[in-house]
A and B are shown apart, each in its own frame.
Chain A
Amino acid sequence: MRVAFVFGWQMSRKIEGTMSSPVISGATAHPSPASSPAPAAEVIGVAKSFGAVQALRAVDLTLYPGETHALLGENGAGKSTLVKILAGIHLPDEGEIRISGQAVTLRSPLEARAHGIAVIHQHPTLFPDLDVAENIFMGRQPRGRFGQIDWSAMRAEVDRLLAPLGVGFDSSTPVQGLAIADQQLVEIAKALSLDARILIMDEPTASLSAREVERLFAIVRRLRDHGVAILFVSHRLEEVFALADRITIFRDGARVITAPASDLTLEATIQHMVGRQLQTLFPKEPAEIGDVVLRVEQLTRAGVFHDVSFELRRGEILGLFGLIGAGRTEVARVLFGVDRADSGTIHLDGKQVSLTSPAVALQLGIGYVPEDRHRQGLLLPFPIASNVTLPILPRLSRLGIVNRPKERDLAAEFARRLQVKAAGVEQAVAALSGGNQQKVVLAKWLAANPRVLILDEPTRGIDIGTKAEVHHLISRLAVQGLAILLISSELPEILGMADRVLVMHEGRITGIFDRDEADQERIMYAATGQARIPA
């Protein structure tokens, strides 16, 4: 499976070569870090612990003006802690931060900002009720003679900042309606307006489509060429190699290596991150493929997706790939009875069914693990046991009263089977790591004993080690005879896991590939709406 990953990296180069607009050039000449004598920021021997957990152990990191520096590591490696220290959210226990050679103490986000540090979080923290201009200038709006806000000056300034970013909104657009990608651009515009010299981006591409990623990277490269120091945290290694000049890898709170990106191979990078020889990243085991369980014909939801038809068999993993906005999740929502289709039919075991609500879908044996596990999949403050048994409470109750011991035993059984790392099934889900939360979501739907399982981005935002476990789990479920629809934005994941790959583009199916004919180029062409691979 290493092949898939290496290939993925070449693929991203390919995307760059074919897709980028003339403004974006992949390999811009820029001053090498070694020739820039004065670092923009230095992290020296910084340590931080939370209770008994040592999050960072004496890490060093140097950022030079005009470099893009990627920070990699598994979840819990200490990346976020370092980002939060630089953002002024946490104070280090030991060590020193220097900005332009001066030792500084960053006590608050405001102080970090005053030192020229701008942070863009994975989920931008903006004011949804206010417009773009106010979001950029909140707390420091330009004022007129009587102390009143100078709205026209503010709007003009924001429009000036937005112009070079090539965005589809303006200063007076309410943030409420903006996509996450656009919200990130608002944050970037804010950084520009603050004249930030250090830009820190924490997983900025996690929710972006390929095109949005390209646009973001083009802007980031331009900032870099203007001498901004950029620290970039990501799980998507292909992107890291496409963008980063240097790479620093953390493991278990300590720095493992800092090296120019050109000196690291993808393989070496992953090995540094996980600290162990990587076996198989996507361990799809051969499963016996049985009869058709789910048949979808000409399914249409007006304006969202059209004429979607496919079959899903016992023991099969059907990958569903598409760029953000292709309509994958929307199809899943109809299959789970959340939304209604306008036309088309759904057959389960050859019988036409009408999925009018999730409860009906559940009863018919369809499980759905949603993409946004925080909002749709889990009750975070509740214990693991309550989360796992939520869909099957009626089965565990008599006369409306839940049999608690039975609930606990059942939850414990699934937690054990899925290897959820927790103190016990009474632990609150909020306290678990992302990977373990995802396992709880899986346990929840498996407890309902479904025949068809829809997994929407099951490994988004979880680290490589846990990812492999989740993949292993999915594979085992298929072996046990479950029919699985796997929605993913990660090509390597789809290629590694799926028996067949369904590709959607703008609400339509643009390709169906068997495992042996599926490759990255074919899928990508289908996903971008190109009819065929040009000669």
Chain B
Amino acid sequence: MTTLQPSAQSRSARLAAVAGSGQFLRLLARIREAGLLIALAAIVVIVTVQAPRFLQISNLRQILLSVSILAIVAVGQTLVVLTRNVDLSVASSVGLVAYVVRDLLRDHPDIGIPAAIAAGLLIGALLGAINGALVTIGGVPAIVATLGTLYVYRGVVFAIGGGELITASEVPQGFRDIALSRPWGIPTPIIVAAAVALVFAYLLRSTRFGRELYAVGSSPEAARLVGLSVGRRVFTAFVLCGLLCGLAGVLWGARFGSIDARAATGIELQVIAAVVLGGVNIFGGSGTVLGAVLGAILLGTIQNALIILRLNQFWLQAISGAAILLAVTADALITRRVRRSLVVRLRR
């Protein structure tokens, strides 16, 4: 055995390096969230220097309020993206629910607000179920299936509403209070979004269902081998995403003064932007609710900063896009660097 000493030593060094690499990779997973916080802090500092009122409570409240609905949908999108799918129909779902709930309350104010909310959630879940069925039973790739339903759902809203506008005065004040009330001085949508984020963060972190979503997205084949029904998990993710779109739709319907069939058009790209910016792997298997929510907040903050700084609103899209590219590229570069340095360490 004595002749083997040098090799044995280098082997144990290698093993130690492998064990160390575990911690390294785990740290890496946190880098994105830390990076988002740093970016957020940088924006806050820069903008505050320019315009101190940026940091006023009322403005911070405004940022979070404007982000809250987006964040709720981003949480739903995260569930779907984790499973290697994507839901492009979220904006249409939100718009459909927002319009239908208002329509319902205008024509039948006596059914009551709780029933209207329940209907909104149910419709959302149903829309999600249709997406899920197309993908899992129909075998249609998610990006195609939900592109189809994006148009179909929006078409349904137009069919129901035509060009008609439903103004604030046509629905009960109690409904509008869902979005406008401020318990403890905090607007309700922010509280709802925070609750959603907490519940789903817990779900993803600490329940079998949550971990199985990661498993399914990380390796569908391995998931099948351990007896997980991939289709069922994917379907459930779509339903939950639809449900959250329903919730977001209710809040949308309550929050804005007047609503027409174009409600929430185009937010699906902001939602996906938030999710990707938040470090959720677009190919499934990794990412967190916290990241997605931070991504949404960062986008909302940039938007707000542009207003405060009186910059052209049209810059927003370019800046959001640049932020995403920056975040994803930095991520990829760091990961590659770390990998390479790991390999070098292992080989030595």
- Which A residues have a C-beta under 8 Å from some C-beta of B? 18-19, 21, 108-110, 113, 125-131, 134, 138-139, 141, 143, 147-149, 151, 167-170, 172-174, 176-179, 182, 211, 302-304, 325, 327, 506-507, 528-530, 534
Contacts and interface: CB of A to CB of B under 8 A. Distances in A.
B218 A327 contact: no
Interface string B1-21: 101101100111011101101
Contact of B219 (A19, A125, A147): A125
Given A134-B211, A169-B18, A173-B22, A113 B227 contact: yes
Interface stretch (B38-46, B180-188, B250-258, B340-348): B340-348
Given A110-B227, A168-B14, A177-B342, A129 B4 contact: no
B295 interface: no
Interface string B189-204: 0000000000000100
Contacts, number: 122
Contacts of B25: 174, 176-177
Contacts of B103: none
B22 A141 contact: no
B347 A327 contact: yes
Contacts of A108: 227
Indicate the size class of the contact surface on chain B.
35 or more
A128 B284 CA distance: 11
B169 interface: no
Contacts of A131: 22, 26
B226 interface: yes
Contacts of A173: 18-19, 21-22
A138 B347 CA distance: 32
Contacts of B215: 127, 130, 134, 138-139
Interface in B71-126: none
B342 A143 contact: no
Contact of A178 (B14, B18, B223): B18
A113 B348 CA distance: 40
Nearest to A190: B226
Contact of B207 (A147, A303, A506): A147
Contacts of B218: 127-130
A169 B208 CA distance: 24
Interface in B217-244: 217-219, 221-228
Nearest to B28: A174
B227 A148 contact: no
Given A506-B10, A528-B7, A177 B219 contact: no
A304 B22 contact: no
Given A127-B218, A182-B18, 5 more contacts: A125-B219, A129-B281, A129-B286, A149-B208, A529-B7
A372 B3 CA distance: 34
A530 B16 CA distance: 23
A140 to B, nearest CB: 8
Contacts of A109: 224-227
Contacts of A176: 25
A303 B286 contact: no
Interface in B276-299: 281, 285-286
20 contacts: A109-B227, A127-B219, A128-B218, A129-B217, A130-B211, A134-B215, A138-B223, A141-B208, A168-B16, A168-B18, A169-B15, A170-B22, A174-B22, A174-B25, A177-B18, A177-B21, A211-B11, A325-B347, A528-B4, A528-B7
A506 B11 CA distance: 11
B67 to A, nearest CB: 27
A529 B8 CA distance: 11
B212 interface: yes
Nearest to B287: A129
Contacts of A113: 227
Contacts of B342: 177
A241 to B, nearest CB: 23
B206 interface: yes
Given A130-B214, A303-B344, A149 B207 contact: yes
Contact of B228 (A18, A19, A126, A139): A139
Contact of A169 (B7, B19, B217, B285): B19
Interface in B130-183: none
B130 to A, nearest CB: 28
A170 B214 contact: no
A170 B20 CA distance: 10
Contacts of A141: 208, 211
A224 to B, nearest CB: 24
B221 to A, nearest CB: 5
Contact of B285 (A127, A303, A304): A127
A127 B214 contact: yes
Interface string B311-348: 00000000000000000000000000000001111111
Query: Quick one: which of B12, B206, B342, B344 has the most chain A CB within 10 A?
Result: B206
A200 to B, nearest CB: 13
B214 A529 contact: no
Given A139-B227, A303-B344, A129 B18 contact: no
A179 B225 CA distance: 21
Query: Quick one: which of A126, A172, A177, A178 has the most chain B CB within 10 A?
Result: A177
A149 B344 CA distance: 37
Given A149-B207, A174-B25, A138 B226 contact: yes
A142 to B, nearest CB: 10
Leading 9 A-B pairs by shortest Cβ distance: A168-B15, A173-B22, A110-B227, A303-B344, A129-B285, A127-B218, A129-B218, A125-B222, A129-B286
A534 B26 contact: no
Contacts of B206: 148-149, 151
B6 A529 contact: yes
Contacts of B7: 211, 528-529
B207 A148 contact: yes
Nearest to A144: B206
A138 B211 contact: yes
Contacts of B24: 177
A170 B222 CA distance: 20
Query: Quick one: which of A147, A173, A211, A302 has the most chain B CB within 10 A?
Result: A173
Contacts of A211: 7, 11
A169 B222 CA distance: 21
Contacts of B343: 303-304
B265 to A, nearest CB: 34
B227 A174 contact: no
Query: Quick one: which of A129, A169, A327, A506 has the most chain B CB within 10 A?
Result: A129
Contacts of A128: 218-219, 285
B299 to A, nearest CB: 25
B22 A172 contact: yes
B41 to A, nearest CB: 28
Given A109-B224, A211-B11, A138 B212 contact: yes
A19 B4 contact: yes
B10 to A, nearest CB: 7
Interface in B26-73: 26
B76 to A, nearest CB: 20
A131 B221 CA distance: 17
Nearest to A178: B18
Query: Quick one: which of B19, B206, B225, B344 has the most chain A CB within 10 A?
Result: B225
